[in-house]
Amino acid sequence: MSGVPRLPGLVVTDHVFTVPLDHSRPDGPTLEVMAREAVAATKVDSDLPWLVFLQGGPGMKSPRPTGANGWLERATRDYRVLLVDQRGTGRSTPVTSRTASGLDAAELASYLRHFRADSIVADLELIRGQVSPGKPWATLGQSYGGFITLAYLSQAPEGLRGCYVMGGLPGLEATADEVYRRTYPRVRAKNEAYYRRYPEDVERVRRIADHLRDDDVRLPDGDRFTVRRFQLFGFGLGMGDYAQTLHWMLDEAWDGEELSRTFLYEAMNRTAFGDTPLYVVLHESIYAQDNRPTDWAASRLLPVEFAADASPLLFTGEMIYPWMLEFGGLEPFTEAASLLASSDTWTPLYDVARLRDNRVPVAAAVWHDDMYVDAGLSLDTANRIGNSAVWITNEWEHDGGSASGGSVLDRLLKLGADLAPVQPADVS
């Protein structure tokens, strides 16, 4: 445990736990997992239940609190909140280029297989045994955090008293191929909506793309800025105010006949993943549960209308392509990523029968127009989870959990309160 800083309305305490790299080998190599406790300043000594926040990703660290605001303010009215840096992220033995430097490709691929949702759940159960011994806790999953939630309900439901999910119910058997077949049309629709709002940007985008095609443009870190890398700007089109952000980025794109330094720095920062390699390397593996390789599904299924010479040029979304491993900081992961993409030995993440018989209250928000998580798959999943309730809305985009302040969480807490409580026999 480290210092106890006071933020506006919050007291925050850091905890560090030692966990096995491979939970089937508890005496083997270990990792550290950092979890940050946040409690309302007026309730430091109160006996509050725990709520664990499961961050989106994969491979993203937990949010750093600045005070009692947004969903965290709502949560700390009733809970002691645990913000966990999932293994491999933030301060939890992060996976970086240094990690890769001492391993060959096969060793690195084997190491990275221990950073999926099942291992994260095992970490959480070990941590629960130390901070909340004998008592179940609640979870709040955002996006990929919802995937972890269903793995938790499949693997260790006895550790849970309630689950809340914001835009993150995955298809229980959906392969990477099915996910991207469903995702590309939604990304195209977000592009069309963007160009309807800003029709002048059709020409702006085409001019930039033509310049990148015809000239060797370099980003500030030395990477080549290509048309397909420019298309990655569409990653945020499923967030609430990103269309406006993109429009103003294009507004400052030029300095005479060259792309401006301002724009190039924006491009580098928005499309580089060297500081979050797990996000790239493990992205498609979150859909892998059997003997079918993911085999770079997003790249194989890229529709022709996303071609670099198309007009209007369409931005891509939350897709990972093998050429992204050429980016600075990701090169050491190239061969390991290829091995993972070709792997046919994935283990199931979800127990369909256990989810059907689930007794833990599960309240989930499904964003009707979500660009990242298919609403159809989410609703099918919701119908297959026992003791669950779902709220379907187009009021929010994928970032509704944070953009709404505390209102989305408040609605989910009320929704969950109407579900049958966990029976004492179900918990440890």
Tell me: the pLDDT tens digits for 172-185?
A: 999 999 999 999 99
Sign (positive or negative) of CA dihedral 316, 319, 323, 328: positive
**Residues 24-74: pLDDT tens digits?**
999 999 999 999 999 999 999 999 999 999 999 999 999 999 999 999 999
| Distance in angstroms (rounded) separating the CA atoms of residues 387 and 356 | 9
Which contacts (CB < 8 Å, 24+ apart) does range 72-76 have? Answer: 72/10, 72/38, 73/9, 73/405, 73/406, 74/405, 74/406, 74/407, 74/409, 74/410, 74/413, 75/51, 75/140, 75/406, 75/409, 76/9, 76/10, 76/38, 76/39, 76/40, 76/43
Number of H helices and number of E strands within the chain? 17, 11
% of the chain surpassing 90 pLDDT: 95
Rounded mean pLDDT, 162-168: 98
Residues in the chain: 428
**Residues 272-291: pLDDT tens digits?**
999 999 999 999 999 999 99
pLDDT of residue 5: 82
| Distance in angstroms (rounded) separating the CA atoms of residues 47 and 211 | 61
pLDDT of residue 428: 46
% of the chain surpassing 70 pLDDT: 98
Q: Per CATH, is 6-172+350-426 categorized as 3.40.1410.10?
A: no
Answer whether residue 238 shows pLDDT above 70. yes
Sign (positive or negative) of CA dihedral 310, 316, 322, 326: positive
26, 46 contact by CB (below 8 A): no
The helix (H) or strand (E) run that includes residue 122 is helix 117-131
pLDDT of residue 425: 45
pTM for this one?
0.96
Rounded mean pLDDT, 257-271: 97
pLDDT of residue 3: 60
Two structure tokens written together for 321: 């392509």
| Distance in angstroms (rounded) separating the CA atoms of residues 260 and 116 | 39
pLDDT of residue 2: 64
Rounded mean pLDDT, 391-413: 96
Answer whether residue 427 shows pLDDT above 80. no
Confidence of residue 421 (pLDDT cuts 50, 70, 90): confident
**Residues 78-128: pLDDT tens digits?**
999 999 999 999 999 999 999 998 899 999 999 999 999 999 999 999 999
For the chain, the 3-state helix, strand and coil shares in percent, each to the nearest 5, are 45, 15, 40
Confidence of residue 1 (pLDDT cuts 50, 70, 90): low
pLDDT of residue 423: 67
| Distance in angstroms (rounded) separating the CA atoms of residues 194 and 243 | 6
Average pLDDT across the chain, whole number? 96
Answer whether residue 268 shows pLDDT above 80. yes
Give residue 177's identity as a one-letter amino acid code. Answer: D
Rounded mean pLDDT, 198-225: 97
